[in-house]
Amino acid sequence: MSRQGNAKPVGIKDKFGYMMGDVANDFMFLFAGGYLMVFYTKILGVSAALVGTLFLITRIASGFCDIGMGVIVDNVKPAKDGRFRPWIRRMCVPVAFANFLMYQTGLANSTLTVKIIYMFITYLLWGGICYSAINIPYGSMAASISADAKDRASLSTWRSVGAQIANTVINAAVPVLIYHADANGNQVVRKEMFTKLAGFFSICAIICYIICYKFTTERVQIETKEKPKEKQKTNIFKTLFSSRALFALIGSAVLLVFATTLGQSLNVYLYADYFKAPSALSTFNSLMLVITLGLSPFIVWLSIKFGKKETAVIGTAFTGIIYVLLCLMPVKSPWVYVAITFVGSIGYMYFQMAIWAFIADVLDDSEVRTYKRDDGVIYGVYSFARKLGQALAGGLGGFALTAIGYVETANVQTEQVKHSLYSVTTLGQGVAYVLVAVVLLFIYPLSKSKIDENSRILMERRENN
C-alpha cells in the first residue's frame, strides 16, 4: 500500500524536472531511432536486411532486460533519495557513454565480421543494459511523484513535451547536418558528423538527467515486504497474465511504436531519395513540437471530459485513415506531403502524449484487483512492448528496403524503388494506426467510467487505512 509523504505539492519544478528526463532519453533514443540505420547502412556499409535482423534480435533481448529491471526496482530497498531517482544518478553517465560508442565512424573500413560484432555489442550495451537501467526507473517514477490522477496526466503531458523538444532539436538539425547536395543535386551523407553528433547529444543527455534528478521529488512511497523468491516469481506472472487492461495497452503500444518507428526509420530515406528534400523532413519534425505545444493545454481537459480511451480511439483512427489515403493518392511535392501528414499527426499525438497516464490507470486497475502495486514490473512489461514494436518496425524497415531493391551505397535510386519506398512508408503507418484504434476500442477496458470507479475505490481504501 502507498502513502503520501510530507513533501510540498507537485508543482512546476517537478513537472519541468520530469520533462527533462524524457528530453535526456530522447536525445539518444530518437537519434538512434531515426539515424542509427542510416549510420549502419550508409557509413558502415552493412545491408539493410542485416541491420533489420540486428534490430529484431537486440531490441527483443533488451525488452527482456526491461522486465528484469522492473523486478529489480520493485524489490530493491529504496535509498535515501527514493526508490527510482537514485538510478538516474547512477546511470546517467554510463548510458550516455554507451550511446556515444554506437556511432564510431572509424570502423567504416573494418571487416564485415568486426562491424557485426561491434554493432551487436554496442547496441545491447546501450539499449539492453544501460538504457533499461535508467528508463524503467524514470518511467515508473511518475506514480511515486504523485498519487493524484490529474498530476499524473499533467506529468504525462510534460513528458511528451520533453520528447517533442528532443525530437525537434534532433530531427530539425540532423538532416541538414548529415546530408549535403553533390554537383548533381543528389543527397550525400557526411560521414564525419555521426560521431560528433552522438557525442554532443550524449553530453546534453547527462545534463538533462541531472536536472531531472535534482528537480523531482518522490512523494508516494511503497512499503515493501520481504517475500520468498518463488512467491515473487508467482506474483510477477500473476501481474502479467491477469490484466486485460495491461495486455490491451501492450498491444496498442506495440502498434503505436511500430508506426512511429517505421516512420522515423523510413522518412529519412523517403525525403532524401523520393522527395530529394531533407530540409522538408526538418520542417515536418519541427512542426511536431507545434502540435505538442498546441495539444498540451488540452490533454488533461480532454481526458477528464471525454475519457482517455475514447479520444485516443478517434485520434489514432483519423491518423491511420490519412496515411492510407496518402498511399492510395500519392503526392509528389514534399511540402504538400508535410502539410497533410502534419494534420494527420494531430490524431495520434494525443494518444502518444497521454499514454503515460494510461499506464497510471493500468497500475490503479491492478491495485484495485490485487490490493498491491507492481509499478516497476508493469512499466517494464510496457517498455518491453515498446521495444517489441521498435524491433518489428526496425526489422521490417530494413527488410522492406532490401525487398524493394534499395541500394545502400547508391546516391540515386531507381523510380520503381522510390515509389515502393513511398508505398511502404505510408501504408505501413496507416494500417498500424488503424489497428491501434481497433485494439483500444474493442479490447482496452478502462473507459472513463471505469477509471472514475477505480479512483473512487482506491480513495476509499486509503481513507479507511
The pLDDT of residue 111 is 94
- Mean pLDDT, consecutive 10-residue stretches, the chain (465 aa), reads 59 94 93 88 88 82 83 84 92 97 93 94 91 90 79 83 86 81 69 92 97 92 51 52 84 88 87 89 84 85 88 96 97 96 94 83 84 73 75 75 84 90 96 97 93 86 73
The pLDDT of residue 30 is 87
Name every residue whose Cβ is closer than 8 Å to that of residue 148 and which is 6 or more positions away in sequence.
Answer: 10
The residue with cell 533519495 is: 81
Is residue 180 classed as helix, strand or coil in its secondary structure?
strand
The pLDDT of residue 81 is 85
The pLDDT of residue 209 is 97
Query: Which among 281, 257, 91 has a CA at the least distance from the CA of 172?
Result: 281
Concatenated DSSP letters of 248-271: HHHHHHHHHHHHHHHHHHHHHHII
Is residue 20 classed as helix, strand or coil in its secondary structure?
helix
CA 273/CA 187 separation, integer angstroms: 8
CA 248/CA 425 separation, integer angstroms: 25
Question: Which residues pair with residue 189 across a beta bridge?
Answer: 179
Q: What are phi and psi of 359, to 5 degrees?
A: -60, -40
The pLDDT of residue 388 is 74
The pLDDT of residue 234 is 45
Query: Which among 155, 166, 160 has a CA at the least distance from the CA of 28?
Result: 166
The pLDDT of residue 335 is 96
